[in-house]
Structure 1
Amino acid sequence: MPAPILPLIEAAGRWPERGALVGLDLGTKTIGVAVSDPDRRLATGVETIQRKAFKADAARLLAICAERKVVGFVLGLPINMDGSEGPRAQSTRAFARNLAGLTDLPIGLWDERLSTAAVERELIGMDVSRAKRAEVIDTHAAIFILQGALDRLTTLRRSGQ
């Protein structure tokens, strides 16, 4: 049975109470990967996958999930500033549909507007060279996306929603 693809809050209802989540920043050339701790408090960068073919990319992602005992995915959905979905969001949804056919782990979509820009500003502020930024930006964007989702879920849990 294919995995459900849902907005983050709905996906959270499908995940067990504990267990790591994997966060993805999907780019055209790379996939930034981050994983949370089992209590879902902290996102940590894992790697940047150089995209090849979908099957190879998915195989690596599923291997990471198995290694880390992941219970669900958080995919950054690049929504435009006006709230519409452009080609990148459509590409992310297509990736999610393809991935859902290979796993039963629920997939949550999380608005990642400006995540890469925010990470780049942070890295520039830390005086990271342009070359080094290019190496780490996708993984850091995945951390930013996943941590934002974790923080949102924590806020909702604390408020009883």
Structure 2
Amino acid sequence: MTTCSRNPKDLCAGVIYIAVGLAAVWIGRDYAPGTGSRMGPGYFPTVLGWLLAVFGVLSVLRSFIQDGGPIGAVAWKGLALVAGATALFGVLLEPAGLIPALLALILVSAAASRMFRFEVRAAAGLVALLAFCALVFVRGLGVPMALLGPWFTG
């Protein structure tokens, strides 16, 4: 297959961004959007979907301007670990709570990298990220999630 694109990676990434962005807009079309100061359930998917689609268009345009390398092999291990970590977060959130679910998500996702090593600085960053998420989502935004679920609190 020949194409006039000079950067197949950007072209494929842009097409994926456009598809996912437009899918988010389409899924959120029946929800009330609200306004910027009083957001409805459709505001977030619609705005982020359009932003993602715009980035996709920019990526596609860039693929015709800037040179790039060919598309490499798919990193199946990394793909499986990141997708599995996301599913694991969803499964663990209610019975284990936000902190253990985030811990599992972050550690399993980090294991997808070939450079993953567990060090003291990484552990400190992990603790800071867990505290930040707990403060922002549970305390700041009032999202009704238990920090520790029934598995730990009985």
TM over 0.5: no
TM-score range, shorter chain: under 0.3
Q: Which has the larger radius of gyration?
A: 2
Higher strand share: 1
Higher helix share: 2
For CA contacts below 8 A with separation 6 or more, give which structure has more relative contact order. Answer: 1
